[in-house]
Amino acid sequence: MAQENRSAIDAIVEENLNMRDEIDELVEERDAARADAESAEAAVTEEASQDRPTIGYAEESAADSDAEDLPEAGTLESVTAERDSYLADSQRLAADFANYRKQSEKRIAETAATQSAGLVRNLLPVLDACDSAIVQDPESPVGAIRAALLGELERSGLELLAPGNGESFDPEQHEAVMHEAAAADSEQDGPIVAEVLRAGYVWKGKVVRPAMVKVAG
């Protein structure tokens, strides 16, 4: 299980790196195309801004002839539109990459959480065995082992789920395996926990195993 989860994480990371390489290549192509467009726009603007000669009929005629060779206004508009298109592509590419990165990070986090939750579930029978040994012999050295193991898991995000007697029954956290009638003088509004048969556990805010309880009412 751990090997499969690790392989899944490695595959996601490799996919992320490949995507970044492709994006870097696209960004380089975009920058080169943008530079060409800006260069062409600058050349067109420079030619269009040159003063036309006005001295002498011959010179004016020559200027009129040269004017025929100048780019039309539509050419400048076309270059500007092409530049704006490259800018829009760049912005769209940046947004796509940001979304892809968020999705990749989310998948990695979910895979890691699933892997860690699976490890915790595998350790719960060990804690149950320690609990049974302590019930049989409260002075058993197993108590120290259980305390050390549970303390380390709690620091990583494990919470003990052991409701007190009389606490309201919660089907999302408790598993009712036995039932008894409520006391005749009871004023309870609903079923309550009469006895905890096996502790439950919560891992990083999610119930990995509900507490096994006897319910009254």
Average pLDDT over residues 127-136: 89
Residues 100 and 49 in one domain: yes
Q: Is residue 77 part of a domain?
A: yes
How many domains does the chain divide into? 2
Residue 148 belongs to some domain of the structure: no
Q: Which amino acid is at 112?
A: A
Instruction: Tell me the residue range of the domain where 69 lies.
Output: 2-117
End-to-end CA distance of the chain: 41
Per-residue pLDDT reduced to its tens digit, 171-199: 899 989 898 887 766 667 788 888 889 88
pLDDT tens profile 139-158: 888 889 889 988 989 998 89
- pLDDT tens sequence across 63-111: 454 545 545 556 777 777 877 888 888 888 888 888 888 888 888 888 8
Q: Are residues 67 and 17 in the same domain?
A: yes
What is the structure's pLDDT at 103? 87
Confirm whether pTM is higher than 0.85.
no
Return the ∠ at Cα 158 (arms to 153 and 161), rounded to 5°.
130
Task: Tell me whether residue 109 is in a domain.
Answer: yes
